[in-house]
Structure 1
Amino acid sequence: MDEHSATENGVDGGEGNGDGSGDGKALRRGWTTGACATAAARAACGALFSGDFPDPVTVTLPGGQTPAFALAWTERGEGWAAAGVVKDAGDDPDVTHGALIRARVSRAEPDQGVVFRAGEGVGMVTRPGLPVPVGEPAINPVPRAMIRQAVAEAAALAGEAPDVVVEVSVENGEALARRTMNPRLGILGGLSILGTTGIVMPYSCAAWIASIQRGVDVARAAGLDHVAACTGDTSEKAVVARYGLPEHALLDMGDFAGGTLKYLRRHPIPRLTLCGGFAKFGKLARGLLDLHSKRGSVDLDWLADRMAELGAAPDTVAEARAANTAAQVLSIAREAGLPLADRVAALAQRTALDTLDGAPVAVEVLVTDRQGTIVGTSGWGAP
């Protein structure tokens, strides 16, 4: 997927290195919001310049593919035309799947080229650090380039100048955006128009990784010296209660510890708190960077061995080995007065620092139980 994951999606995936690089199953691909907006703009330009909406309308993607899109809606008036395409995300569980992506095209002043506007349901950028400057519609650079190319092609066919205002809108986009990371990233009022290839690759999780990266970019641009990467809402609430960090200091890491740490290795922030549940961080402590259950199960024997290292009695270790869940092992350790969660936190911190590979990032690990109580800490570890 090239589109909305943590930003506008909620999928599992990646191939064991925690950076979303796995190729996953052979599922049906879909089209990004950027590709759909381009198709809508191309059709609207056809009507504006020649009076007819091409349907289906063909566009050229960055990789050279030329898909055709059926129009779901058209409208025109004096000096303007508009068209809409229904987003098909393929087999990817994208929140924008089925949304109507519209483009309204009108003539601009001579030599202005393509002027972009945010219509209803498309957000505006309010924080630095994103690919689009503050004050601009949240239409990313590749979709802008695709739309400019489509406008130029339509204008050339009609013998017109490619000077137009393109207003992109998404039906119900403001409501959909509340299910994404856009508000946290400072994109307000709606969705982003995204896509680097025009194609949604289902379950690749590239978009989740991309949203983590944009979160780091925003935090760096804001001059923050402390961010927290959390595995979910429960751990995020725990770290906010502990530190009172602002929303744009919170990275929705999910299962992608590897993707988060590798990006911070190249784009460091002075202090990083990793906060997550005991089971997931038990995997990180073992050196796993993809924390999803499909990539690796909780190793109860490994946890029992750590208890033995902490001085657990043999019958306590045996009880831990026979447990059904990591939570049960944690309960056994706590009843025995063993700081197992602290040990997991310390080992997870070691994995994180090894992955950061000397980058100037101090790391702290906080381990939570299922109720969100912090039960294990590592302290701060320097690179």
Structure 2
Amino acid sequence: MIINSLKRFGITTGAAASAAAKAAVIGLLNKEKRSTVVIPTPIGLRLEIPVEKVEIQNEIACAEVKKFSGDNPDILDGLVIRCCVKLNENNEIVIVGGKGVGKVTRSGLKATMGEMAISPTVKDMIINAIREVTDKGIQILIEVPNGESLAENTLNKMVGIVGGISILGTTGIETPISDEDYLEHIKCELNVIKQSYDFVVIAPGNSAAKYASELFDSTSIIKVGDRIGDSIKLASSLFKKIILAGLPAKLLKVYAGIFNTHYSQGDARLESLTHASVLAGLPYDVLIKISNALSVEEAFTYMTKEQRRKVMKIVAEKILSRIKSFNDDINFCVIIFDYDGESLSRVGC
């Protein structure tokens, strides 16, 4: 089997910000204008990223890096992320968002309400990149020159992020998983897993794979992105046991019968969550809050842990009945994790 080897990976906005911050610090401390920098990532890989511009003036240095999306269709491809740095009085690294970086206006997101939309993982990436250069205190301002206008074409406002884009990324790497050729990649991975296991764990994303690795060998897990239905069908021809393990947002789409979870294929997350919450018998006042939430994460803040478990059990049972229709001879299992990695529901396992 041959996979198109020309498919290009990209970098996340978080990786671009980390590279810009590191280049700016090198400029500030060494008066050196780098054309590339190498940054560490949360998954252990190191990325060499081009730097578009470095400006050094008195006690401030600024650097710009363009986001590269590889072969993923992404309106943020080519977006400039700019970091300006100066020395801090203490040895802490302080990261703030400026023009073009969105502000969180609703609860339930990775950043706290009222803060700029820079994820904790990205902040750690930036700190780790800076600590390769210096142990001094650094003040970092992240700006996105066209962020405010580009944000109008994203889903940010729908989830409560206004005024700019989010600085995100759990791995630093953007994988071209939306491409049709990615199915060939999935086939190859499934065949490799088949050599060592009689089961496979299908994880839609990086966080799901991370949490699943606490329950299963990491080499039995395959990350499939949005292609959940296609992956289950492919796996059904190879394995007698298939475990679908994911976080609520993507699996709520499967609850509604949407097996390709890319946003262009449909979205019924909050409608599904409201429906399952009604079936779980949640109080009326909680149902109203859930139905008016802008994201699943926000809706979860209105529910107790026990309520989440009841609702996700209903979700998992419905998903199980849906995927059994692919092949009733397969032993299917559905696991839904909370956003902190705790298992909310296990059905069929």
TM-score relative to the length of structure 2: 0.55
Matches within 5 A, 1:234-273: 245-248=291-294, 267-268=308-309, 270=311
- 2:171 maps to 197
- 2:97 maps to 118
Asked whether 1:87 is paired with 2:67, we answer: yes
Asked whether 1:39 is paired with 2:19, we answer: yes
Mark the runs of 5 or more structure 2 residues left unpaired by the alignment. Answer: 179-203, 209-224, 227-245, 259-264, 276-286, 298-304, 328-332, 337-342
Query: Aligned with 1:248: secondary structure?
Result: coil
Identity of matched residues, %: 31
- 1:158 maps to none
1:234 to partner: Cα distance: 8.9
Query: Is the CA contact 2:27–2:54 (under 8 Å) kept in the aligned structure 1?
Result: no
1:238 to 1:147, Cα distance in 2 relative to 1, 3 A: closer
Distance 1:25 1:265 in 2: 47
1:99 to partner: Cα distance: 0.7
Matches within 5 A, 1:206-217: 206=205, 213=247
Of the candidates 174, 181, 184, which is equivalent to residue 155 of structure 2?
181
1:172 to 1:90, Cα distance in 2 relative to 1, 3 A: same
Deviations for 1:24-75, whole angstroms, at most 9, x for unmatched residues?
A: 9752211111111111000000111121122221222223333222221222
Deviations for 1:161-190, whole angstroms, at most 9, x for unmatched residues?
A: 421111112232223223333222222221
- CA RMSD of superposed structures (Å): 4.5
Query: Aligned with 2:20: secondary structure?
Result: helix
Distance 1:266 1:67 in 2: 42
Of the candidates 125, 135, 146, which is equivalent to residue 125 of structure 2?
146
1:144 to partner: Cα distance: 0.9
Query: Aligned with 1:67: secondary structure?
Result: strand
1:98 to partner: Cα distance: 1.0
1:285 to partner: Cα distance: 5.3
Asked whether 1:99 is paired with 2:79, we answer: yes
1:192 to partner: Cα distance: 1.3
- 1:62 maps to 42
Q: Bigger CA drift: 182-191 or 46-55?
A: 182-191
- 2:237 maps to none
Query: Is the CA contact 1:270–1:360 (under 8 Å) kept in the aligned structure 2?
Result: no
Structure with the greater alpha carbon radius of gyration: 1
- 2:238 maps to none
Distance 1:235 1:199 in 2: 27
1:238 to 1:70, Cα distance in 2 relative to 1, 3 A: closer
Mark the runs of 5 or more structure 1 residues left unpaired by the alignment. Answer: 1-23, 156-160, 217-227, 252-263, 275-280, 290-295, 297-353, 362-383
- 1:134 maps to 113
Give the length in aligned residue pairs: 242
* Bigger RCO (CA 8 Å, 6+ sep): 1
Query: Is the CA contact 2:257–2:322 (under 8 Å) kept in the aligned structure 1?
Result: no
Q: Which amino acid aligns with 2:205?
A: A
Query: Aligned with 2:63: secondary structure?
Result: strand
TM-score relative to the length of structure 1: 0.51
Q: Which amino acid aligns with 2:32?
A: D
1:136 to 1:288, Cα distance in 2 relative to 1, 3 A: farther
